[in-house]
A and B are shown apart, each in its own frame.
Chain A
Amino acid sequence: MLRDTVVHLLRDNFTEAKIRGKKRYLLERQQLQSLTEFKSQAEVIGFLADSPYGPELSKLPDSASPAEAERTIGESLARTVENIEASAKGNVRQFIVEYRRRYDAPDLARLLVFKLQGRLWEDYATRSSLGTLSEKQLRKLYNIENPRDLIEEMADQTLEGRLENMQLESPSPDKAAFIRDIIVGWGDERFYAYASNELTGRDRSSCIPIIGSAIDLGNISIILRGKLLGLADIRSHLVPVYWKLDSKTLESLLTAEDIQQAFDRISAHRYYRRILGGSRQKYEETKSLAFMEVLAREHFARLSHEIFLGIPYNIGVILAFFVLKENEARNLSAVLSGIDAGLAPEQIRTLLAT
């Protein structure tokens, strides 16, 4: 542990100080909440002109759609990560590469869902700028006609097995979200395997709570969506890695009669009750599982703030900053989409993880 700290102190303090400098420019909760009061996208973009998003957003035409603004915010996030990657060395650099590789899974999930829904390549505008897959590689995958061949080409046998017994054609929105959760879980599993096997000491202990709870929350989401879809065999779609989600709780979730009962059971879990407590009520109110993503982001942001309060010389600081930065980007996207959809400020605030 001491060796890791000394290595980071001597080798990575440039990157660490840079991250602290960048962290200063993260938007405060009050700033984000005040953005929800704005009436138009142009006002929000004007507000962000002096922020790190400014250089990219200033190039957007006034007529830009929220999707374009969202993509521009994603590009700004990617630029920040690339900037840090450029100054990183050794296992920190490798960590950032693995972090970026994690974004390939959401890209592939979106691509597959687009393909299954019969949508055009031209509509596929939400590619994450953070992923390591190029536009050309994704385009090549998109051109594969048979979805099963596409999965075989884009992933490994692990993911093929998890999607094996599923009817993929023309998925409903819930089914599409279910497929997305499975593929994103597969990406998280790879990242978790890297963190478990390659990181040591404080590096590992600071990163695992975020990466591990992402896997657990992903599995919980798969189970809940499975219940919603009325699937009999949900277990085969789960990521076979668990952090705080013990086998007893998992079994109780899988055997729950319906989604409400599953919510009640997860609300009793000693770790996840502080994240998902009261989630049944939220589900009853919204009839959607979208709020889970906000709760998960709030949890990751909380863990990230805790990392920043601890001893600075470890990889956890880098992951914590990325989590906070990504959360900010998603919050901004939610504000832009909410304003575009004409939602009231109070409604938009429910979409923010602060």
Chain B
Amino acid sequence: MVSEPIVYASLGVGLSVFLSVIGASIGISISAPAIAGAGTERPEIVSKSLIATILAEAIAIYGLVVGLLSIFRLTSLTPADTDIAFRIFSGGLIMGIAAVAAGIAIGTSGSALASATAEKPELFSRAVVPLILAEALAIYAFVAALLLVI
């Protein structure tokens, strides 16, 4: 079994970027059709509802930032730095899993936001709160991952 620290650290980078992209794509692919559907009836709400896809895209950026910061540390990694390697691996895993969870939450709440706003536009300011809370899930993981990898 490979036990080189560089392998675990690289795996952490991969998980962070790959799972964050998956999370973002889930969020966008669930919310975007609903925004488009709502827009066919009420075009004026599309720009407001796009917040769901923007927040979903932000998840991928969090993962990318964690991945890039991890890569910077990879260059100075020696075979003795197992603790740093496991911190990078854990940071990537935390960011990746949280990104998928947040992506699902943003997708479903973004879809519901678009539907609700299409029916009652006055609901937007309140219906957007779950979407922001879903994004906060990814931010918690982002902060934890940063503390681990830096």
Give me the 4 closest cross-chain CB pairs, A-B, nearest first: A21-B41, A17-B37, A21-B118, A14-B37
Contact A20–B108 (Cβ < 8 Å)? no
Would you mind naming 16 contact pairs between A and B with Cβ atoms under 8 Å apart? A13-B37, A13-B111, A14-B34, A14-B37, A15-B37, A17-B37, A17-B111, A17-B118, A18-B40, A20-B38, A20-B41, A21-B40, A21-B119, A24-B42, A24-B120, A312-B112
Indicate if A87 sits at the interface (CB-CB under 8 A).
yes
Q: Assess whether B98 is interfacial by the CB under 8 Å rule.
A: no
Residues of chain A with a CB closer than 8 A to B33's CB? 13-14, 17
Interface flag for A16 (CB, 8 Å): yes
Is A2 interfacial (CB 8 A cutoff)? no
Binding site for A on B (CB under 8 A): 29-30, 33-38, 40-42, 108, 111-112, 114-116, 118-120
Residue on A nearest B45 in the bound complex, by CB: A21
Q: Roughly how many angstroms separate A15 CA and B38 CA in the complex, as a whole number?
A: 8
Instruction: Report the bound CA distance from A20 to B114 in whole Å.
Output: 9
Please report A residues at the B interface, Cβ cutoff 8 Å: 9-10, 13-18, 20-25, 87, 312
Task: Find chain B residues with CB under 8 A from A13 CB.
Answer: 30, 33-34, 37, 111, 115
A21: contacting residue among B30, B42, B111, CB under 8 A: B42
Contact, CB under 8 Å: A20 / B36: no
Q: Could you tell me if B41 and A18 are in contact, using CB atoms closer than 8 angstroms?
A: yes
Shortest CB-to-CB span from A200 to chain B, Å, is 21
With a cutoff of 8 Å between Cβ atoms, the chain A residues found around residue B108 in the complex are 9
Contact yes or no, B116 A20, CB < 8 A: yes
Closest chain-A Cβ to B79's Cβ sits at a distance in Å of: 45
For A10, the chain B residues whose CB sits under 8 A away are 29-30
Cβ contact within 8 Å between A16 and B120: no
Contacts of A87 in B (CB 8 A): 37
Of B30, B42, B115, B120, the contact of A312 (CB 8 Å cutoff): B115
Partner of A23, one of B34, B112, B114, B119: B119
- The residue on A at minimum CB distance from B36 is A14
Q: Is B118 a contact partner of A20 (Cβ separation < 8 A)?
A: yes
B35 and A17 contact, CB distance less than 8 A: yes
A14 to B31, CA, bound (A): 9
CA distance A24 to B118 in the complex (A): 7
> CB-CB < 8 A to B41: which residues of A?
18, 20-22, 24-25
The CB with the most chain A CB atoms within 10 A, among B29, B40, B116, is that of B40
B37 close to A18 (CB less than 8 A): yes
Q: Given A13-B33, A21-B41, list of 10 further CB < 8 A pairs?
A: A13-B34, A13-B37, A14-B33, A16-B115, A17-B33, A17-B111, A17-B115, A20-B115, A22-B41, A312-B112
In the bound complex, CA of A246 to CA of B25 (Å): 51
- Asked if residues A17 and B38 are in contact (CB atoms below 8 Å), the reply is yes
Given A9-B30, A10-B30, A14-B33, is A21 in contact with B120 using a C-beta cutoff of 8 Å?
no
